[in-house]
């Protein structure tokens, strides 16, 4: 169970989900079932599978009482509110698309629509939106917008396609000198490798991210990177370097 929480706190929700589901299968008490089902639901929610998340929240609801039951119900209510908000936003963007003729604006709307579909687990629809946006930005030769599409599309996949699109995005952001795009993509690459416990590969991309962040005035991005670097350095057994990154994070 500690390993599951370790991955959860590191935002490696896929690996954490596997372990919480394993714990759920082996649970012998209602409290254990409620605890692991609730955390499995949270993992699925953060991975943008809201319908699947609700299934596990309902298992947690059935096996919990009192304050814990209220917390689970709050999670269910939050997911439902989130989905309704996103569905409203989707309809608004669809209405705008019907009236918009400008190619660049249509590309932006389609890219945003893909992101919204992804948020509520509609990955096939998101893929179609990104494909349309990609065609537009290629015609316009807008590499930064195209890089953003690739970076967002990468999140649709759990396999090597994610890596492919992240590298495509990084290549475009590097060519255009877009530092923020490089930082976000390098962080996603670090997380990709971290999900499969490729610690050294993850640390490689994270250090590249940190080097670029020296030239960006964004405390939240720096804190995110320093905290993750501290965790990874500690796991690699480099206590001194871990303390250095943790100290830098605390100073922001």
Task: Write the pLDDT tens digit of every residue in 27-84.
Answer: 999 999 999 999 999 999 999 999 999 999 999 999 999 999 999 999 999 999 999 9
Fold entry, domain 1-86: 1.25.40
C-alpha to C-alpha distance for 136 and 104, rounded to whole angstroms: 7
Name the least confident of 8-22, 49-63, 120-134, 173-187: 8-22
Fold entry, domain 178-252: 1.25.40
Residues 6+ apart with CB under 8 A from 224: 187
pTM > 0.75? yes
- CATH 1.25.40.10 positions along the chain are 1-86, 100-177, 178-252
Task: Work out the average pLDDT over 200-210.
Answer: 94
216 sits in the region (left: phi over 0; alpha: psi -120 to 50; else beta) called beta
Q: What is the largest CA-CA distance in the chain?
A: 59
Q: Pick from 208, 198, 207: which is nearest to 235 by CA?
A: 198
Predicted confidence band at 231 (pLDDT cuts at 50, 70, 90)?
confident
| Cα 145-149-154 angle, rounded to 5 deg | 150
């059935």: which residue's tokens? 62
Query: Could you count the other beta carbons within 10 Å of the beta carbon of residue 41?
Result: 28
Q: What is the mean pLDDT of the chain?
A: 95
pLDDT at 1: 52
- Percent of the chain past pLDDT 90, that is, above it, reads 84
The answer to whether residue 13 scores a pLDDT higher than 60 is yes
Measure Cα distances from 153 to 104, 186, 200, 201, 216 in Å: 18, 15, 25, 22, 25
C-alpha to C-alpha distance for 252 and 246, rounded to whole angstroms: 10
Six token digits for residue 135: 């065609």
Q: What's the CATH code, domain 100-177?
A: 1.25.40.10
């Amino acid at each position: 169970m500690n390993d599951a929480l370790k991955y959860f706190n590191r935002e490696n929700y896929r690996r954490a989900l596997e372990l919480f589901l394993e714990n759920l299968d082996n649970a012998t008490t209602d409290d254990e079932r409620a605890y692991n089902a609730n955390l499995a639901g949270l993992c699925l929610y953060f991975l943008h599978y809201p319908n699947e998340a609700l299934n596990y929240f309902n298992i947690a609801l059935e096996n919990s009482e009192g304050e814990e039951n209220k917390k689970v119900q709050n999670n269910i209510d939050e997911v439902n509110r989130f989905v309704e908000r996103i569905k409203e936003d989707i309809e608004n963007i669809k209405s705008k698309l019907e009236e918009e003729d400008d190619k660049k604006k249509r590309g932006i709307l389609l890219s945003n629509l893909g992101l919204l579909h992804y948020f509520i687990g509609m990955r096939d629809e998101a893929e179609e939106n990104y494909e349309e946006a990609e065609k537009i930005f290629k015609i316009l030769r807008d590499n930064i917008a195209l890089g953003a599409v690739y970076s967002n599309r990468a999140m649709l996949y759990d396999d090597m396609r994610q890596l492919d699109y992240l590298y495509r995005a990084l290549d475009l952001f590097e060519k255009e000198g877009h530092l923020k795009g490089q930082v976000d993509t390098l962080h996603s690459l670090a997380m990709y490798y971290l999900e499969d416990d490729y610690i050294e590969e993850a640390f490689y991309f994270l250090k590249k991210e940190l080097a670029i962040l020296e030239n960006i005035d964004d405390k939240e991005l720096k804190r995110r990177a320093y905290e993750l670097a501290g965790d990874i350095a500690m796991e690699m057994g480099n206590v001194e370097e871990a303390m250095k990154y943790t100290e830098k994070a605390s100073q922001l």
